[in-house]
Structure 1
Amino acid sequence: MLRRLSLALAVAAASNGLAWAETAPLSTKTDLVSVYQEAVNNNADLAAARADYAARKEVVPQARSGLLPQINAGANLTDTRTEVDSPSVRADRSGTVYQATLSQPLFRADRWFQLQAAKATDEQAALQLSATEQNLILQSAETYFAVLRAQDNLASTKAEEAAFKRQLDQANERFDVGLSDKTDVLEAQAGYDTARANRIIAERQVDDAFQALTTLTNREYSSVEGIRHSLPVLAPSPNDAKAWVDTAARQNLNLLASNYAVDAAEETVRQRKSGHAPTLDAIAQYQKGDNDALGFTNTAGSGVTYSGDVEQRSIGLQLNIPIYSGGLTSSQVREAHQRLNQTEQLRESLRRQIVQNTRDLHRAVNTDVETVQARKQSIISNQSALEATEVGYQVGTRNIVDVLDAQRQLYSSVRNYNDARYDYILDNLRLKQAAGTLNPGDLEALAQYLKPDYNPDKDFLPPDLSSAAEAQIRSVRPE
């Protein structure tokens, strides 16, 4: 009976797999690394993050400009008439004056600290961009394996529907020959209807998962390569939570960015305090203009007229000593201190969260290792239990409800097993991201276990399932 049940699962999977192969040719299958590369090239969020970084890094040249020479040039065109009552004199003047001014800051403490704060902000922005790029690695894997998870769930749901349909057909046959009552048929019908509804929902979830992949990469996909059941399921290396936490403290990109945020806030405090300090600038100015007419005329109508170019040069120092600004500078210092305190507290909160996440993910990976094996054994045990229940139903010691429940348990264990596999893969990547070590090479390592000819309707079950179930039966049943 066990062999008959195993073959029934395989036949149901193969028949459904034929339809899948017709709609998704193997030549169109996409692998994990290709999806990630498409995400890097086309992801809108990453493009926005890069543009944001390119904009934020401009704070450095903007702050540096306050310490560099400033050169201005201009021209004035004037026509002036001046009259004096006593003695009665009138002066007329018109002309064009060109001027250029050079200003070189000699002592500007506020601008110096502003530059240091800008440099720290630039480093923070660069690390935040790196964190976004690193997060795209995880996001690509999550979206990719969400498709595989949905496909495997659909495959098990279709196999479950087929099994419930066979059970319904069998119940009808038994009812027709008088071996069971109408209740068995109704129970089997209810089980089949539920399985059919679950299959419809699972089909939509597959479409949703592919749509998420399209949103991530701006590319359309019809199928992707699946992960082999031979993927090693191993504990994290090193299997020491403290070592992972120490690595996260040194390398987590978001935490490193928060350190630079604190540095920028400290420099801003110094900048605000230096608002009380004097400033010293060197000023050089050059003027040249022509006087078209410069005349003085008295009441008798006599006078004198001058004309010619005027040229003037000046150089000097300009000292400014702030004395009182209405409390503005003191208020800005207090504000900067509070912003610094805020940034330090945010960094501490982030540090604690990273420590928690790293420890939680370390435990999760270890739990996933045991869960994958336990879920696989659960499939074997539930398959054996279903066989025993069907035998009991045939001889009258079990009823149809027991059989239907056993079938539900079997396919639930299949889904739990596949969920555990994908949880293990993603928790490993999340642990590496928390530690700051996640890189594209981790996806390339996973790609080695992808199966180009993966068919969800056949490959959602471990290939050695039947032999393992038979071995379990032999261990508990005498020859």
Structure 2
Amino acid sequence: MKKKLLIALLPVLCYKVSAFDLAFAYQEALTYNADYLKTIASNDAGQEQKNIAMAKLLPQINATGTLSENYFNQSGNYALYNQGLVSASLTQVVFDFSKFSSYSKGKYAGMVTELQLENAKQQLLVTVSQAYFDVLYAKDTLTAIQKTKEALEKQMNQAKRAFEVGSVTIADVNDAQAGYDSSAAQEIQATNELINKKNIFRNLTGLDPEKIQPIKDSINLESPKPANADSWSVMAESGNLNVRVADKQVAMADEDVNIAISGHLPTVNVVGNYQYQGTGNLDSSTLNTSNDGSNVPGTPLSSYSVGGVGAQLNVPVYQGGGVNAQVRQARANLVAAKQQMVSVERQTDQNTRNTFWQVQNGVSIVKAQQTALKSAKTKLDSDQLGYQVGVRNSVDLVNSQKNYYQTFQTYQQSRYQYLMARVQLRYLSGSINPDFVKQINQNIKN
């Protein structure tokens, strides 16, 4: 019984494995796409900026150890001896405006890379969706051209037969031949375009584009909610990831101004040091070894330790005008960053409003194209019947077929453009999430 059930389910299982939808393609791209994986690594690197800056605010401790062979000579008496030396130093920042500002800048840098990573993740959905629908549209275009070519081939053959019996002129044959040849050239171009779109999709996801599932015959046509462009513009103003990145980059440029200004400010550090010199060991000597001085403080062979702690104040007086130049440079960069943010905001507002209307009007466009397709199909059916009873000729029938497939191609294009506009609108507002991916994927055949 189990074996029979497995055999019965095998075609279904193979189909599920072989064919995939948009959601699956997107998930695969998240683990395959090199550009996105590079952004993940860049974010990991960026998160270390604040740690690097914080390290400069924490105690700096250094220790060294030395073992040296020394030579001593006084009044003809000499000594060769080895001696160890250990030293340690400590520095702790009390006030250093540059280091404090660098730490703040490091935190903003970490925020920027996090936002860039999220932006790359959402942008990847836009890119994969476009590539997915481009493959489907290229297939539809090739199908429409092939169907048209078949109709033109029939017309050409009929014209040749009619010419043989003398019912049409050679001009009619040449017209039919030219139409067929043109469609054959278009088929080659459409085939190349399909190959190109498939390669783009494969490069993005690592998946076989031959197994892409088409969209449903009837997709969900939803108008944007909220239903006005101003609301979406406000959402994009605060949610668009490119705007948020630009805002943090302005904050980083502001910290660069503080870092430059700190060149005029004093710094205060707590410093401490400790040094221990070990007792020397004689290797050879002409001295009286019973009184080599190793136990007499201050002699080269004696051991001793010294240490100290204190505050270190550093006051910059004049650096040749370099600090002033750095301040002017940082302030100019801050102005540039602010203007860049204004540019990003305006471009985002423009794109958001345009995309809103693409979705809003896209509903009506798809419905209108659907009606046009039904009309074209009705006309094609009528012309086919008229051709059979002799009230329509082959030219009328071919023109009707060409019109139907061109309308089919335009109808399919309007549906892909509508779905892409929905994805783009959510991306511009920074509101792409797993639930939205599921909503779009509901329009793909299972």
Q: TM-score range by the shorter chain?
A: 0.7 to 0.9
Does 1:123 pair with 2:111? yes
Aligned position for 2:303 = 309
Q: 1:202 aligns with which of 190, 195, 207?
A: 190
Whole-Å separation in 2 of the counterparts to 1:438 and 1:301: 88
1:302–1:162 CA distance, 2 compared to 1 (3 A): closer
Question: Per-residue deviation at 1:360?
Answer: 0.8
The one-letter amino acid paired with 2:32 is: N
Residue segments in structure 2 that go unaligned for 5+ positions in a row: 1-13, 295-301
Aligned position for 2:417 = 423
Does 1:234 pair with 2:222? yes
Question: Per-residue deviation at 1:395?
Answer: 10
Whole-Å separation in 2 of the counterparts to 1:109 and 1:199: 69
Contact map agreement 2:94 2:269 (CA 8 A) in 1: yes
Contact map agreement 2:135 2:209 (CA 8 A) in 1: no
Q: Cα deviation per residue 1:180-224 (whole Å; 9 max; x = unaligned)?
A: 222222211211222222223222322222222210112334221
Aligned position for 2:323 = 329
Aligned position for 2:11 = none
* Worse overlay, 131-140 or 72-81: 72-81
Aligned position for 1:68 = 58
Whole-Å separation in 2 of the counterparts to 1:34 and 1:82: 80
Whole-Å separation in 2 of the counterparts to 1:416 and 1:36: 26
Aligned position for 2:440 = 446
1:347–1:205 CA distance, 2 compared to 1 (3 A): same
1:182–1:394 CA distance, 2 compared to 1 (3 A): farther
Aligned position for 1:108 = 96
Does 1:268 pair with 2:265? no
SS class of match (2:207): coil
Contact map agreement 1:137 1:440 (CA 8 A) in 2: no
* Worse overlay, 325-334 or 91-100: 91-100
Q: Cα deviation per residue 1:368-400 (whole Å; 9 max; x = unaligned)?
A: 222222222333444555677789989999987
Q: 1:352 aligns with which of 346, 355, 375?
A: 346
1:389–1:395 CA distance, 2 compared to 1 (3 A): same
Q: Cα deviation per residue 1:348-370 (whole Å; 9 max; x = unaligned)?
A: 00000000000111122223222
Question: Per-residue deviation at 1:159?
Answer: 1.3
Aligned position for 1:9 = none
1:341–1:89 CA distance, 2 compared to 1 (3 A): farther
SS class of match (1:222): helix
* Worse overlay, 108-117 or 361-370: 361-370
Whole-Å separation in 2 of the counterparts to 1:45 and 1:25: 30
Whole-Å separation in 2 of the counterparts to 1:42 and 1:386: 46
SS class of match (1:100): strand
Aligned position for 1:32 = 22
Aligned position for 1:164 = 152
SS class of match (2:211): coil
Contact map agreement 2:90 2:271 (CA 8 A) in 1: yes
Q: 1:244 aligns with which of 208, 232, 244?
A: 232
Whole-Å separation in 1 of the counterparts to 2:77 and 2:208: 88
Aligned position for 2:426 = 432
SS class of match (1:106): strand
Contact map agreement 1:187 1:401 (CA 8 A) in 2: no
Whole-Å separation in 1 of the counterparts to 2:365 and 2:160: 39
Does 1:147 pair with 2:135? yes
Whole-Å separation in 1 of the counterparts to 2:317 and 2:78: 44
SS class of match (2:87): strand
Q: Cα deviation per residue 1:219-254 (whole Å; 9 max; x = unaligned)?
A: 334221111121122322222000000000111111
* Worse overlay, 231-240 or 58-67: 231-240
Aligned position for 1:10 = none
Contact map agreement 1:63 1:114 (CA 8 A) in 2: yes
**Percent of paired sites with the same residue:** 31
Query: Structure 2 length as normaliser, TM-score?
Result: 0.86
Q: Cα deviation per residue 1:145-200 (whole Å; 9 max; x = unaligned)?
A: 11111111122122111111222233233333333222222211211222222223
SS class of match (2:105): helix
Aligned position for 2:31 = 41
Whole-Å separation in 1 of the counterparts to 2:108 and 2:45: 15
1:259–1:191 CA distance, 2 compared to 1 (3 A): same
Does 1:178 pair with 2:166? yes
Question: Per-residue deviation at 1:280?
Answer: 1.2
Does 1:377 pair with 2:371? yes
Whole-Å separation in 1 of the counterparts to 2:87 and 2:237: 58
Aligned position for 2:273 = 285
Question: Per-residue deviation at 1:407?
Answer: 4.1
Whole-Å separation in 2 of the counterparts to 1:147 and 1:57: 38
Question: Per-residue deviation at 1:290?
Answer: 2.1
Does 1:192 pair with 2:174? no
Whole-Å separation in 2 of the counterparts to 1:426 and 1:102: 60
Contact map agreement 1:293 1:305 (CA 8 A) in 2: no
Contact map agreement 2:263 2:323 (CA 8 A) in 1: yes
1:302–1:208 CA distance, 2 compared to 1 (3 A): closer
Query: Structure 1 length as normaliser, TM-score?
Result: 0.80
Structure-to-structure mapping, 1:399-478, within 5 angstroms:
404-452=398-446
1:311–1:351 CA distance, 2 compared to 1 (3 A): same
The one-letter amino acid paired with 1:45 is: D
Contact map agreement 2:151 2:398 (CA 8 A) in 1: no
The one-letter amino acid paired with 1:289 is: Q
